[in-house]
Chains A and B, each alone.
Chain A
Amino acid sequence: MGSNMAENHPVAFQWVVDAQRNGARVIHVDPRFTRTSALADTYVPLRPGSDLAFLGGLINYILDNGHQLSEYVAAYTNADVIISDEVALPDDLVKLLSGYDPDSGTYDATAWRYAGVEQPVVAASGKRGRHPDRGGGETPRGREVEEAERDPTLSHPRCVFQLLKRHYAGYTPERVAELCGVSREQFVEVAEALCANSGREATSAFVYSVGWTQHTVGAQYIRAASIVQLLLGNVGRPGGGIMALRGHASIQGSTDIPTLYDLLPGYLPMPQAAAHPDMASYLSALTAHKGFWGDIDAYLVSLLKAWWGEAARADNDFAYGWLPKLSGDHSTYRTTLAMLDGDIAGYLLLGQNPAVGSSNGRLHRLAMANLDWLVVRDLVEIESATFWRDSPEVESGELDPGEIATEVFFLPAAAHTEKDGSFTNTQRLLQWHEKAVEPPGDCRSDLWFVYHLGRRIRAKLAERDDPTDLAVRELTWDYPVHGPLAEPSAEAVLAEINGVDAHGEPLAGFAGLAADGSTACGCWIYAGCYAEGVNQPARRTPRWNQDAPASRWGWAWPDNRRILYNRASADPAGRPWSQRTAYMRWDAEQGAWVGPDRPDFPASRPPDYAPPADAAGPAALRGDDAFVMQSDGKAWLYAPDGMVDGPLPTHYEPHESPVRNGLHAWQASPARQRLAHPHDPDNPGSTDPAPGPPDPFGPHAPPFPFAITTYRIAEHHTAGGMSRFGRRLTELAPELFVEVDPVLAQRRGLVHGGWATVLTARSAVEARVMVTDRLRPLPVGGGVIHQVGVPYHFGYGGRATGDAGNDLLSLALDPNVHISEYKAATCDIRPGRRPRGAALRRMVDEAADGHHHKGAG
């Protein structure tokens, strides 16, 4: 669901086809019929933005029919935990979850806590450590979470299992079908197939991509799938799990070692100004009761030692004070608005093209024209490097190069073949690539750029005496350089990421980290990638000489583990759930967990182990606490912390939708983040659509009656910098097109191969029309929804040109992760090309004001 794997991850899809040949059943649930659908055994078209209703329906179906793997649910999840009686769930589908403050539009997660536990239970990920009653207080240690009230019979009305039943009771097959635009029979067919292929004897897997993440409730989509998989016992087992297929060579690596505002390496949260003024308050707020986040002090101190070396000492909080502190959201869209306000002087673009790739591209282009200076590092002259000269806003007269003060530095980048380094793929696998040739001309690696920029800045700061410069001046920044270009050694950086022990020897794994300052490690989850001084990601034992998980090809974090939480591949007593799905098991004779993988569990801890009362961190894990990163050792069906928009996923409509929410009184998620700006208006009539059956061609049709979704195609790569400027891929897919169904085409007068203009309150985009049955009209709420599909790769630069599809979208974001809703909004579509010059803005502004031209039909 939410993925077109065959086209966007084609080489990985060979394994799906292999599995299919071995008897697996492949189901594709997605708005568009794609090559993935063509190869699937079952294809179910569903309305964009309705996936959570579908998933909620699966949860209801599983619970209603008793298909859960009960022993797994009881032992490995928090199904038995009793939730504080402050929590009220929307039994009647009207009330909101408790803790919601309508004035601020936010929830107070302390209202969702476990009954009997004084301290809020720390989440393993997401927005965590924000509780005022944790900051500055005692660090919770050990087994306090064991105090939680539980009901092993799962019958207490406020236990998580019963809350789930009540919360999803309304997601019946009939209502799901009506909301999602699928038939009841199709929904039940999928639910039955999923349940029949799960349990002791079999496992099922979910695959998703940005079709799930790019929604105002995107993180809750993933949570809902997690609930489905946990109920069915499909997590931590071979052939199970939830596979996030990510879109860039090292987008996983750039999340693990984050070029992201809210994280430090290894998913340590960046400190918050109010809650974490010193290290004690940081650790107090973020140390887990038990499990591996119980050792967060060792991870943080080792990171600070890697960055500041001798200057990070116990008597100065290991230089914690030099870390800049956050005040809420500093994400990319906020930064763009700050540019428009003139608050950003300088901006570096490192292989990214927001003029095409980001929502509402016009807003980004106008913002960049407001910078003092901009550095663009790329292989080709992407649109973000030339917006001042040839953007649509120059054509429309909104921008004039003679009035743009921005200095632009274009620095050509080295390609992957011209530098050493590692990528982390979508399976957490680090793979090394070797330099084949020197980069040409002025081209340099980003390692060269950052290292030498830092070197120059440090030299300049050394000439003045300013205490605010200490963090830069004391930074460890001595990397060996080699070759004619003085290229820094990537392997030396990898060694720093891996870390060293008290004797300066490479760490074998994160278990060797200490909180006393004796160890240094640049990213604790990568500790071991340079074990014994060997570049582990560079290992390439051919697949025909490998063990089953191919453990000698590259290196997977953490500890070269290939399936996470694999303790759950055995039952609570440590036996395989079935011979067919056997993976890891407890061997009593050896006193160890054995199997083809590295155990994701203390290696010699028996299944019946009960820790002493004073145990803390990993030592406090019971023998059946399979979810070792969770501070209660259990997978969370109900999330008492970490999510800012509710402890249980709930179906809300997209920010802009053609229909009213058929399940809840609230139309869209009340906690969604809408960054308001005059350049980013909503489509009139789409945030609060009229009740009743949608009728896009009727006399009372709203001005933006169609559902729009943007997507990728097999022949191009994201914002186009790596595909549209070359010859080969351009020949395969030379220009932008828009997909519409035959009925919509006929009613709007759109001709296959002719031109159409897609319109929102943000922009108008012209494209060649492709009339196709791949996008089907969907029966929803007694009416019909038509879809418009727009690939987003194109722009005004390069060889394969076209308007940028994402120009149509708005800054409606998921509040957990600040990702924009690219996958579901509303639009209008008209025959013919868009206007040129100033007439373009007039057309869009009229649409934004609600002065609607009805078009044909």
Chain B
Amino acid sequence: MGLADLLGSWPVWRQLRGPDRLGLSQAVTSPATQATASPTAEADHVAASVCPFCAVGCAQRVHVRDGEIAHIDGDPASPVSRGRLCARGSSSLDLVAGPARETTVKYRAPYARQWSQLDLGTAMDMIADRVIAARDASWQERDADGHRVNRATGLAALGGAVLDNEENYLIKKLWTALGAVQLENQARI
């Protein structure tokens, strides 16, 4: 390392000679920091997104590299959030790509003490059969007073406040067509 390099590695020298006269950024970075690239810099693709936690609706940018999410940060263009995320929003990468995430279907048979495996298609078919059976078994054409009700009282669902509008729409549409009135979400909690 020559004298010029040695001097150049000295923060005071960089602060006096470079543009960062207050010593708040480039002048005081270490070699390790200089060698570190932002995970956002090398993204192949940035998807426009929205924070999935509370209802403020802070805008997120999802940085994708090699088909995986490299980083999630706030979008400074948003008039709602101005690029900021709170502790929960900042943990979004941990939420979507953390070790607790389940990626396989699990099935617990009656009286079983543990999970077993199940193919997704088989599970969907079993659930469809059970919905139809529960609907048939609990179908009410008229209530006790003789009013026509056309409903299935043995089916219920809970959830929707963390889902998309389009998802809630299809849930309400299918559930209503099935005659299942017991459909609720966190707004009731």
Contact = CB atoms under 8 A, between A and B. Distances in A.
A247 B81 CA distance: 16
B168 A258 contact: yes
A675 to B, nearest CB: 13
B154 A727 contact: no
B86 interface: yes
Interface string B116-158: 0010100111111111111001110101010111111111111
Nearest to A538: B48
A726 B53 contact: no
B5 to A, nearest CB: 39
A826 interface: no
A609 interface: no
B129 to A, nearest CB: 7
Contact of B179 (A442, A471, A818): A471
B42 interface: no
A436 B164 contact: no
6 contacts: A9-B55, A247-B186, A249-B57, A335-B158, A346-B131, A494-B165
| Interface size of B as a range | 35 or more
Given A324-B151, A421-B163, 9 more contacts: A245-B56, A273-B145, A324-B181, A409-B107, A447-B170, A490-B166, A523-B169, A542-B76, A722-B52
A245 B80 CA distance: 14
A354 B113 contact: no
Interface string B81-98: 110111111111011101
B162 A432 contact: no
B29 interface: no
Contact of A273 (B108, B137, B143, B162): B143
B167 A421 contact: yes
Among B54, B110, B185, the most chain A Cβ lie within 10 Å of the Cβ of B54
Nearest to B67: A437
A12 B86 CA distance: 10
A457 interface: yes
A615 interface: no
A416 to B, nearest CB: 4
A447 B102 contact: no
A423 B167 contact: no
| Residue among A354, A407, A430 having the largest count of chain B Cβ atoms under 10 Å | A407
A687 interface: no
Interface of B: 45, 47-60, 62, 64, 67-69, 72, 75-82, 84-92, 94-96, 98-115, 118, 120, 123-134, 137-139, 141, 143, 145, 147-189
B169 A412 contact: no
Contacts of B49: 416-417, 433-434, 436
Contact of A354 (B120, B158, B162, B175): B158
B104 A441 contact: yes
Contacts of A326: 149, 181
Given A265-B172, A437-B64, A732-B87, A248 B161 contact: yes
Contacts of A488: 170
Nearest to B154: A345
A772 to B, nearest CB: 20
A335 B59 contact: no
Contact of A451 (B69, B77, B148, B170): B170
A249 B51 contact: yes
Given A274-B147, A372-B130, A409 B105 contact: yes
A819 B189 CA distance: 6
Interface residues of A, number: 161
Interface string A283-315: 000000000000000000000000100000000
A428 to B, nearest CB: 10
B156 A344 contact: yes
Interface in A513-552: 522-523, 526, 538, 540-544, 546, 550
A269 to B, nearest CB: 13
A257 B176 contact: no
Interface stretch (A200-208, A398-406, A622-630): A398-406
A251 B168 CA distance: 10
Please provide the 10 A-B residue pairs with the shortest distance between their CB atoms, ordered closest to farther.
A421-B164, A425-B57, A350-B159, A441-B103, A259-B160, A542-B77, A436-B47, A550-B79, A324-B151, A248-B161
B177 A729 contact: no
Contact of A330 (B96, B145, B182): B182
Given A254-B161, A344-B154, A468-B141, A475 B183 contact: no
Nearest to B51: A249
Interface stretch (A49-57, A87-95, A108-116, A712-720): A712-720
Contacts of B150: 321-325, 468, 471
A273 B57 CA distance: 38
B166 A494 contact: yes
A725 interface: yes
A817 B188 CA distance: 7
A257 B23 CA distance: 53
Nearest to A385: B106
Interface stretch (A119-127, A374-382, A580-588): A374-382
B111 A351 contact: no
Nearest to A214: B189
A620 to B, nearest CB: 31
Contacts of A354: 158, 189
Contacts of B148: 273, 277, 321, 325
Contacts of A544: 77
Contacts of A460: 128-129, 132
Contacts of B183: 259-261
A717 B53 contact: yes
A421 B99 contact: no
A457 B132 contact: yes
A12 B88 CA distance: 13
Contacts of A426: 54-57
Contacts of A69: none
Contacts of A252: 55
A255 interface: yes
Contacts of B45: 436
Contacts of B102: 378-381, 410, 412, 443
A389 interface: yes
A259 B168 contact: yes
Contacts of A405: 110-111
A477 B170 CA distance: 9
A359 to B, nearest CB: 8
Nearest to B169: A257
Nearest to A537: B165
A590 interface: no
B54 A407 contact: no
Given A357-B186, A434-B49, A437-B69, A11 B58 contact: yes
A254 B55 CA distance: 11
B118 A12 contact: no
Contacts of B179: 324, 468, 471
B48 A433 contact: yes
Contacts of B120: 411, 442, 444
B71 to A, nearest CB: 11
A14 B130 contact: no
